[in-house]
Amino acid sequence: MERFSTSDLSPDRPRLASNAKEVNVHVLSESVFCPRAAILALESGEDTGDEEPSLGPRLDDFADYDEHRFVEELHAAWGKVRLWLTLAAPAALLVFLVWRVVSPLAAAIASLPLFYVAAQLWDAFTRIVELVREHAVFKAAAPATIDMAPQQVREINWWSLRKAGFDCRKPVDPYRDPGQRVVGKPWRVLTKDTTVRIPVIRKHRGERVWRQQHLVRSAAYCQLIKTCELGDAPFGVLMFAGSYDCLILPNTTSAQFQFEKTLEDARELLQVLDGGKYVPAEPADNRCSRCHWGKPCEYVAGKTDTVLNGNELVPLRTKARGRYFHSPCGDRFHWVPPHEDAVALGIGEGRQ
Protein backbone atom coordinates (compact mmCIF):
# COMPACT_ATOMS: atom_id res chain seq x y z
CA MET A 1 0.00 0.00 0.00
CA GLU A 2 1.38 3.40 -0.95
CA ARG A 3 1.64 6.27 1.45
CA PHE A 4 2.64 9.91 1.31
CA SER A 5 6.33 10.50 0.68
CA THR A 6 8.55 13.28 -0.57
CA SER A 7 8.19 11.98 -4.12
CA ASP A 8 4.58 13.18 -4.09
CA LEU A 9 5.79 16.77 -3.89
CA SER A 10 7.80 19.16 -5.99
CA PRO A 11 11.48 18.10 -6.21
CA ASP A 12 12.74 21.68 -5.83
CA ARG A 13 11.04 22.20 -2.46
CA PRO A 14 13.48 22.87 0.44
CA ARG A 15 13.97 20.19 3.08
CA LEU A 16 12.31 20.91 6.42
CA ALA A 17 14.06 21.03 9.77
CA SER A 18 13.18 18.00 11.88
CA ASN A 19 11.47 20.14 14.55
CA ALA A 20 9.64 22.55 12.22
CA LYS A 21 6.09 21.25 12.67
CA GLU A 22 4.21 19.69 15.59
CA VAL A 23 2.51 16.53 14.36
CA ASN A 24 -0.67 14.99 15.77
CA VAL A 25 -0.39 11.20 16.15
CA HIS A 26 -3.73 10.61 14.41
CA VAL A 27 -2.55 12.68 11.44
CA LEU A 28 0.73 10.79 11.50
CA SER A 29 -0.93 7.37 11.31
CA GLU A 30 -3.42 8.41 8.64
CA SER A 31 -0.58 9.72 6.47
CA VAL A 32 0.66 6.13 6.24
CA PHE A 33 -2.63 5.18 4.63
CA CYS A 34 -3.38 8.21 2.44
CA PRO A 35 -2.42 11.93 2.40
CA ARG A 36 -6.08 12.87 1.96
CA ALA A 37 -6.97 10.89 5.09
CA ALA A 38 -4.18 12.72 6.92
CA ILE A 39 -5.64 16.10 5.94
CA LEU A 40 -9.10 15.03 7.10
CA ALA A 41 -7.66 13.83 10.41
CA LEU A 42 -5.79 17.12 10.82
CA GLU A 43 -8.90 19.21 10.21
CA SER A 44 -11.33 17.03 12.19
CA GLY A 45 -10.01 17.77 15.69
CA GLU A 46 -7.73 16.59 18.47
CA ASP A 47 -6.35 13.10 18.81
CA THR A 48 -8.36 10.95 21.24
CA GLY A 49 -6.96 7.51 20.47
CA ASP A 50 -9.97 6.59 18.35
CA GLU A 51 -9.31 5.54 14.80
CA GLU A 52 -12.45 7.46 13.75
CA PRO A 53 -12.89 10.37 16.16
CA SER A 54 -16.33 11.56 15.09
CA LEU A 55 -17.89 8.61 13.35
CA GLY A 56 -19.82 5.49 14.16
CA PRO A 57 -21.07 3.76 17.29
CA ARG A 58 -18.90 3.68 20.36
CA LEU A 59 -17.88 0.63 22.33
CA ASP A 60 -19.67 0.18 25.62
CA ASP A 61 -18.41 1.78 28.81
CA PHE A 62 -17.20 -1.33 30.63
CA ALA A 63 -13.60 -1.45 29.40
CA ASP A 64 -12.40 0.56 32.41
CA TYR A 65 -14.05 -1.75 34.95
CA ASP A 66 -12.46 -4.22 37.34
CA GLU A 67 -13.98 -6.64 39.88
CA HIS A 68 -14.42 -3.94 42.50
CA ARG A 69 -16.04 -1.54 40.04
CA PHE A 70 -18.52 -4.18 38.82
CA VAL A 71 -19.60 -4.97 42.40
CA GLU A 72 -19.84 -1.27 43.25
CA GLU A 73 -21.97 -0.47 40.20
CA LEU A 74 -24.29 -3.43 40.81
CA HIS A 75 -24.80 -2.29 44.38
CA ALA A 76 -25.63 1.23 43.18
CA ALA A 77 -28.06 -0.09 40.54
CA TRP A 78 -29.95 -2.22 43.08
CA GLY A 79 -30.07 0.83 45.34
CA LYS A 80 -31.86 2.74 42.57
CA VAL A 81 -34.33 -0.12 42.16
CA ARG A 82 -35.17 0.00 45.85
CA LEU A 83 -35.57 3.79 45.71
CA TRP A 84 -37.94 3.76 42.73
CA LEU A 85 -39.96 0.84 44.12
CA THR A 86 -40.40 2.84 47.32
CA LEU A 87 -41.62 5.84 45.34
CA ALA A 88 -43.91 3.66 43.21
CA ALA A 89 -46.15 2.83 46.19
CA PRO A 90 -47.30 6.42 46.98
CA ALA A 91 -47.55 7.20 43.25
CA ALA A 92 -49.89 4.22 42.75
CA LEU A 93 -51.88 5.17 45.85
CA LEU A 94 -52.32 8.70 44.49
CA VAL A 95 -53.73 7.35 41.22
CA PHE A 96 -56.15 5.08 43.10
CA LEU A 97 -57.43 7.89 45.33
CA VAL A 98 -57.93 10.31 42.44
CA TRP A 99 -59.78 7.59 40.50
CA ARG A 100 -62.17 6.96 43.38
CA VAL A 101 -62.62 10.55 44.59
CA VAL A 102 -62.41 12.66 41.42
CA SER A 103 -62.67 10.93 38.02
CA PRO A 104 -60.91 8.47 35.74
CA LEU A 105 -59.69 11.38 33.57
CA ALA A 106 -58.09 13.07 36.57
CA ALA A 107 -56.58 9.72 37.57
CA ALA A 108 -55.02 9.43 34.11
CA ILE A 109 -53.36 12.81 34.61
CA ALA A 110 -52.30 11.87 38.14
CA SER A 111 -50.68 8.71 36.79
CA LEU A 112 -47.91 10.66 35.04
CA PRO A 113 -45.57 10.43 38.07
CA LEU A 114 -46.21 6.68 38.16
CA PHE A 115 -45.18 6.37 34.50
CA TYR A 116 -42.01 8.33 35.28
CA VAL A 117 -41.20 5.99 38.17
CA ALA A 118 -41.86 2.97 35.93
CA ALA A 119 -39.47 4.36 33.30
CA GLN A 120 -36.77 4.83 35.93
CA LEU A 121 -37.31 1.28 37.16
CA TRP A 122 -36.96 -0.01 33.60
CA ASP A 123 -33.66 1.86 33.18
CA ALA A 124 -32.39 0.53 36.51
CA PHE A 125 -33.26 -3.08 35.67
CA THR A 126 -31.73 -2.69 32.19
CA ARG A 127 -28.53 -1.44 33.79
CA ILE A 128 -28.48 -4.42 36.16
CA VAL A 129 -28.88 -6.86 33.25
CA GLU A 130 -25.99 -5.18 31.40
CA LEU A 131 -23.77 -5.25 34.47
CA VAL A 132 -24.54 -8.90 35.24
CA ARG A 133 -23.87 -9.91 31.63
CA GLU A 134 -20.58 -8.02 31.36
CA HIS A 135 -19.48 -9.16 34.81
CA ALA A 136 -20.01 -12.76 33.69
CA VAL A 137 -17.84 -12.13 30.62
CA PHE A 138 -15.19 -10.61 32.86
CA LYS A 139 -15.19 -13.58 35.24
CA ALA A 140 -15.12 -16.11 32.38
CA ALA A 141 -11.93 -14.66 30.87
CA ALA A 142 -8.82 -16.64 31.73
CA PRO A 143 -5.76 -14.70 32.92
CA ALA A 144 -3.01 -14.60 30.32
CA THR A 145 0.76 -14.64 30.56
CA ILE A 146 2.03 -11.49 28.88
CA ASP A 147 5.43 -11.30 27.20
CA MET A 148 6.82 -7.92 28.24
CA ALA A 149 9.22 -7.88 25.28
CA PRO A 150 7.07 -9.20 22.41
CA GLN A 151 8.38 -9.50 18.87
CA GLN A 152 5.21 -10.73 17.17
CA VAL A 153 1.65 -9.43 16.94
CA ARG A 154 -0.58 -11.45 19.27
CA GLU A 155 -4.34 -11.82 19.69
CA ILE A 156 -5.69 -11.49 23.22
CA ASN A 157 -8.92 -10.90 25.10
CA TRP A 158 -9.22 -7.53 26.83
CA TRP A 159 -10.26 -9.04 30.15
CA SER A 160 -7.48 -11.64 30.00
CA LEU A 161 -5.05 -8.78 29.53
CA ARG A 162 -6.55 -6.86 32.43
CA LYS A 163 -6.38 -9.93 34.68
CA ALA A 164 -2.64 -10.13 33.96
CA GLY A 165 -2.28 -7.22 36.37
CA PHE A 166 -3.01 -4.19 34.18
CA ASP A 167 -5.08 -1.32 35.50
CA CYS A 168 -6.82 1.01 33.05
CA ARG A 169 -7.01 4.78 33.05
CA LYS A 170 -8.10 7.48 30.64
CA PRO A 171 -5.48 10.17 29.95
CA VAL A 172 -6.70 13.63 30.93
CA ASP A 173 -4.42 15.66 28.67
CA PRO A 174 -2.53 14.83 25.48
CA TYR A 175 1.09 13.79 25.72
CA ARG A 176 3.40 16.35 24.14
CA ASP A 177 7.03 15.79 23.19
CA PRO A 178 8.66 19.22 22.68
CA GLY A 179 11.81 17.62 21.31
CA GLN A 180 10.26 15.63 18.48
CA ARG A 181 7.29 18.01 18.23
CA VAL A 182 4.73 15.19 18.47
CA VAL A 183 1.41 15.35 20.33
CA GLY A 184 -1.25 12.71 20.93
CA LYS A 185 -3.56 11.08 23.45
CA PRO A 186 -4.27 7.33 23.36
CA TRP A 187 -7.82 6.20 24.09
CA ARG A 188 -6.69 4.49 27.29
CA VAL A 189 -3.42 3.66 29.04
CA LEU A 190 -2.88 0.34 30.81
CA THR A 191 -0.58 0.53 33.82
CA LYS A 192 1.33 -2.15 35.69
CA ASP A 193 3.79 -1.81 38.54
CA THR A 194 5.42 1.61 38.68
CA THR A 195 6.82 2.02 35.19
CA VAL A 196 4.92 -0.07 32.62
CA ARG A 197 2.53 2.03 30.52
CA ILE A 198 0.66 0.50 27.56
CA PRO A 199 -1.22 2.75 25.08
CA VAL A 200 -4.58 1.51 23.79
CA ILE A 201 -6.09 2.43 20.42
CA ARG A 202 -9.64 1.47 19.52
CA LYS A 203 -10.84 0.67 16.02
CA HIS A 204 -14.52 1.08 15.20
CA ARG A 205 -15.00 -0.37 11.74
CA GLY A 206 -13.64 -2.66 9.11
CA GLU A 207 -11.86 -5.98 9.37
CA ARG A 208 -10.34 -7.07 12.65
CA VAL A 209 -6.81 -6.83 11.33
CA TRP A 210 -3.92 -4.47 11.91
CA ARG A 211 -2.40 -2.29 9.24
CA GLN A 212 0.86 -0.40 9.02
CA GLN A 213 -0.83 2.78 10.26
CA HIS A 214 -1.83 1.03 13.49
CA LEU A 215 1.75 -0.08 14.10
CA VAL A 216 3.02 3.46 13.52
CA ARG A 217 0.36 4.95 15.77
CA SER A 218 1.14 2.49 18.54
CA ALA A 219 4.88 3.21 18.25
CA ALA A 220 4.19 6.95 18.40
CA TYR A 221 2.18 6.63 21.61
CA CYS A 222 4.85 4.37 23.11
CA GLN A 223 7.49 6.99 22.36
CA LEU A 224 5.34 9.75 23.87
CA ILE A 225 4.81 7.71 27.05
CA LYS A 226 8.53 7.00 27.30
CA THR A 227 9.33 10.70 26.94
CA CYS A 228 6.54 12.25 29.01
CA GLU A 229 6.15 9.69 31.82
CA LEU A 230 9.59 8.07 31.70
CA GLY A 231 7.63 4.83 31.44
CA ASP A 232 8.35 1.52 29.77
CA ALA A 233 6.03 0.88 26.81
CA PRO A 234 7.08 -2.44 25.22
CA PHE A 235 3.90 -2.72 23.16
CA GLY A 236 0.59 -1.10 22.31
CA VAL A 237 -2.91 -2.57 22.20
CA LEU A 238 -5.40 -2.31 19.34
CA MET A 239 -8.99 -2.91 20.50
CA PHE A 240 -11.75 -3.79 18.02
CA ALA A 241 -15.33 -2.55 17.83
CA GLY A 242 -18.19 -4.33 19.53
CA SER A 243 -16.04 -6.92 21.28
CA TYR A 244 -13.19 -7.40 23.71
CA ASP A 245 -10.89 -8.79 21.02
CA CYS A 246 -7.50 -7.07 20.98
CA LEU A 247 -4.11 -7.27 19.34
CA ILE A 248 -0.77 -6.69 21.04
CA LEU A 249 1.42 -4.59 18.71
CA PRO A 250 5.11 -4.89 19.67
CA ASN A 251 7.09 -1.68 19.98
CA THR A 252 10.14 -3.06 18.20
CA THR A 253 13.13 -1.26 16.74
CA SER A 254 11.55 -1.71 13.32
CA ALA A 255 8.29 -0.10 14.51
CA GLN A 256 10.20 2.87 15.95
CA PHE A 257 12.15 3.27 12.71
CA GLN A 258 8.89 3.29 10.75
CA PHE A 259 7.50 5.89 13.16
CA GLU A 260 10.55 8.14 12.67
CA LYS A 261 10.35 7.86 8.87
CA THR A 262 6.61 8.51 8.82
CA LEU A 263 7.10 11.52 11.08
CA GLU A 264 9.45 13.11 8.56
CA ASP A 265 7.01 12.48 5.71
CA ALA A 266 4.05 13.83 7.71
CA ARG A 267 5.95 17.05 8.43
CA GLU A 268 6.62 17.41 4.72
CA LEU A 269 2.91 17.12 4.05
CA LEU A 270 1.97 19.65 6.75
CA GLN A 271 4.55 22.12 5.45
CA VAL A 272 3.07 22.00 1.97
CA LEU A 273 -0.45 22.36 3.36
CA ASP A 274 0.59 25.62 5.01
CA GLY A 275 0.83 27.07 1.53
CA GLY A 276 -2.85 26.35 1.00
CA LYS A 277 -2.48 25.13 -2.58
CA TYR A 278 -1.48 21.48 -2.36
CA VAL A 279 -4.24 18.94 -2.99
CA PRO A 280 -3.07 15.31 -2.93
CA ALA A 281 -3.86 13.33 -6.05
CA GLU A 282 -6.66 10.79 -6.02
CA PRO A 283 -5.39 7.34 -5.00
CA ALA A 284 -4.89 5.17 -8.05
CA ASP A 285 -5.36 1.88 -6.19
CA ASN A 286 -8.27 0.41 -4.22
CA ARG A 287 -7.41 1.82 -0.77
CA CYS A 288 -10.63 3.90 -0.86
CA SER A 289 -12.83 0.79 -1.02
CA ARG A 290 -13.27 0.53 2.75
CA CYS A 291 -12.00 3.88 3.99
CA HIS A 292 -14.39 5.44 6.52
CA TRP A 293 -13.65 8.95 5.23
CA GLY A 294 -15.09 8.05 1.83
CA LYS A 295 -18.04 5.92 2.99
CA PRO A 296 -21.22 7.48 1.53
CA CYS A 297 -24.10 8.30 3.84
CA GLU A 298 -27.51 9.77 3.09
CA TYR A 299 -27.39 13.54 3.39
CA VAL A 300 -29.53 15.01 6.17
CA ALA A 301 -29.13 18.76 6.61
CA GLY A 302 -27.94 19.68 10.08
CA LYS A 303 -27.14 16.07 11.03
CA THR A 304 -24.63 14.58 8.60
CA ASP A 305 -22.81 17.77 7.60
CA THR A 306 -19.03 17.49 7.39
CA VAL A 307 -17.41 19.82 9.93
CA LEU A 308 -13.70 20.52 9.49
CA ASN A 309 -11.73 23.20 11.32
CA GLY A 310 -14.99 24.11 13.06
CA ASN A 311 -16.75 24.97 9.79
CA GLU A 312 -19.50 23.12 7.94
CA LEU A 313 -18.53 22.25 4.39
CA VAL A 314 -20.87 22.58 1.45
CA PRO A 315 -21.80 18.94 0.77
CA LEU A 316 -21.03 17.34 -2.57
CA ARG A 317 -24.29 15.47 -2.94
CA THR A 318 -24.74 12.66 -5.44
CA LYS A 319 -28.19 11.26 -6.19
CA ALA A 320 -28.81 7.51 -6.14
CA ARG A 321 -32.04 5.55 -5.68
CA GLY A 322 -33.99 8.74 -5.12
CA ARG A 323 -31.76 9.96 -2.28
CA TYR A 324 -28.70 12.17 -1.97
CA PHE A 325 -25.40 10.82 -0.60
CA HIS A 326 -22.14 12.40 0.45
CA SER A 327 -18.96 11.65 2.43
CA PRO A 328 -16.37 13.65 4.39
CA CYS A 329 -13.66 12.97 1.80
CA GLY A 330 -16.02 13.84 -1.05
CA ASP A 331 -17.07 17.10 0.60
CA ARG A 332 -13.47 18.09 1.35
CA PHE A 333 -11.89 17.23 -1.99
CA HIS A 334 -14.93 17.62 -4.29
CA TRP A 335 -15.06 14.12 -5.72
CA VAL A 336 -16.87 10.82 -5.23
CA PRO A 337 -14.45 8.39 -3.54
CA PRO A 338 -14.64 4.85 -5.00
CA HIS A 339 -15.77 3.31 -1.71
CA GLU A 340 -17.35 -0.12 -2.09
CA ASP A 341 -20.70 1.29 -0.93
CA ALA A 342 -20.50 4.07 -3.52
CA VAL A 343 -19.79 1.47 -6.20
CA ALA A 344 -22.81 -0.55 -5.04
CA LEU A 345 -24.97 2.59 -5.26
CA GLY A 346 -23.74 3.26 -8.78
CA ILE A 347 -22.16 6.63 -7.91
CA GLY A 348 -18.53 5.48 -7.80
CA GLU A 349 -16.22 3.46 -10.01
CA GLY A 350 -14.40 0.50 -8.53
CA ARG A 351 -10.62 0.23 -8.73
CA GLN A 352 -8.25 -2.69 -8.59
Res. 227 pLDDT band, cuts 50 70 90: very high
Residue 209 lies in domain: 29-54+170-274
| Residue 306, in any domain of the structure | yes
Domain endpoint, select from 229, 251, 274: 274
| Residue 213, in any domain of the structure | yes
Torsion over CA: 298, 340, 60, 123 (sign): positive
| Residue 145, in any domain of the structure | no
Of the listed ranges 136-140, 169-173, 207-211, 281-285, the one predicted with least confidence:
207-211
The Cβ-side half-sphere exposure at 222, using a 13 Å CA radius, reads 26
Q: Tell me the whole-structure pTM to 2 decimals.
A: 0.80
Distance (Å, whole) CA 70 – CA 131: 7
Tell me the pLDDT of the chain averaged across its residues: 85
In a shared domain, residues 249 and 310? no
| Residue 22, in any domain of the structure | no
Q: What's CA 170's distance to the chain center, in Å? A: 13
- Measured between alpha carbons, how far apart are the two ends of the chain, in Å? 12
In a shared domain, residues 131 and 175? no
| Residue 3, in any domain of the structure | no
Which pLDDT tens digit goes with each residue over 49-107? 565 544 443 445 788 898 899 999 999 999 999 999 999 888 888 888 988 888 888 88
Look at the chain and report how many structural domains it folds into. 3
| Residue 61, in any domain of the structure | no
| CA angle centred on 19, ends 17 and 24, rounded to 5° | 125
Distance (Å, whole) CA 251 – CA 237: 10
In a shared domain, residues 210 and 251? yes
| Residue 36, in any domain of the structure | yes
In a shared domain, residues 178 and 257? yes
| Residue 292, in any domain of the structure | yes
In a shared domain, residues 237 and 259? yes
In a shared domain, residues 236 and 95? no
Q: Coil, strand or helix: which one is 205?
A: coil
